[in-house]
Chains A and B, each alone.
Chain A
C-alpha cells in the first residue's frame, strides 16, 4: 500500500481556508485517496474520497493533480470545531479492507 506523507501539524484562525497537502509518490493506478478526520476521544470520521481531479462535498474539497502523486484537502472557512487530526490514506479500489493510517496532521484552529 502506498505510503503517505503529510505535515505533522498546522495552525489556522477561524474563518480562514485551510489546505492540507499529502504526498503519495508511489501511488498505484488502482489506488483511491481518502481523508478521515478524528476528534479527541472519538473514532475517525470519513470526510472525502477521490481518484483524480477535484471532488467537493458539503464539508471539504479534494484536489488531485494529474500525476496523482499528491493531494490537497481544502477546508473552507474553518471554525474552532474543525480542530482535529486529519489523515490522508491511499489504497486500492479492488477488495481492499485495510486502511493504512499514518500519524496524520494535527490542525489547530485559533479564535
Chain B
C-alpha cells in the first residue's frame, strides 16, 4: 500500500479480554516499530522488528504484551488480559532500515484501544 495501514482503527473491549492489533507496513520496509501514545503525551517505544525478529522488545510494559512479524511484513501486537491502563493509541511505523535517527519513520494512523 501507499502508507502504513493499521487495523482496527478503533477497538473497545472489556477488562480481561484479549486484543490483537494489526500493522501492514510500507512494502519493502524491513524495519517495523510499535509505539503507544497516551492522551496528551508523545509516543512511547514498545518494540522494534528488523525483518522477522524482534530486535528489541524492551519497551513492552509487561508479559501481557507480545508482538509477532512471522513473514517480515505484517505485524500483530497482542495484548492479553487487558487492563484499563492499556487504553491508548497504538501506533505502528516502518522504515527502510533500522536507524530511526538518520532517516524517516512512516507512521500509521494508529489503533485506538479503549478498555472498559
Which residues does A use to contact B, with CB under 8 Å? 31-32, 34, 41-46, 49, 87, 89-104
User: Do A87 and B109 have beta carbons less than 8 Å apart?
Assistant: no
Which residue in A32, A42, A44, A102 is a CB contact (below 8 Å) of B101?
A32
User: Do A96 and B108 have beta carbons less than 8 Å apart?
Assistant: no
User: Do A101 and B101 have beta carbons less than 8 Å apart?
Assistant: no
User: Do A99 and B99 have beta carbons less than 8 Å apart?
Assistant: no
Most buried by A among B45, B56, B102: B102
Question: Inside 8 A of B104's CB, which chain A residues have their CB?
Answer: 46, 49
- Knowing A46-B105, A96-B100, say if A101 contacts B48 (CB, 8 Å): no
Contact with A along B91-116 (1 / 0, CB 8 A): 11100001111111111111000000
A contacts with B: majority SS: loop
Which residue in A31, A94, A101 is a CB contact (below 8 Å) of B42?
A101
A98 to B43, CA, bound (A): 11
Per CB-CB distance, the 3 closest pairs between chain A and chain B, nearest first, are A43-B107, A101-B42, A91-B101
Q: List 21 A-B contacts (CB under 8 A).
A: A31-B101, A32-B101, A42-B107, A42-B109, A42-B110, A43-B108, A43-B110, A45-B107, A46-B105, A89-B101, A91-B100, A95-B98, A97-B33, A97-B48, A97-B56, A97-B99, A97-B100, A98-B100, A99-B100, A101-B43, A103-B41
Q: How many residues of B contact A (CB 8 A)?
A: 31
- Knowing A43-B93, A43-B107, say if A93 contacts B102 (CB, 8 Å): yes
Q: Is B85 an interface residue (CB 8 A)?
A: no
User: Do A95 and B42 have beta carbons less than 8 Å apart?
Assistant: no
> How close is B42's CB to chain A, nearest CB, in angstroms?
3
Q: Is B4 an interface residue (CB 8 A)?
A: yes
Question: Inside 8 A of B55's CB, which chain A residues have their CB?
Answer: 97
A93 to B105, CA, bound (A): 14
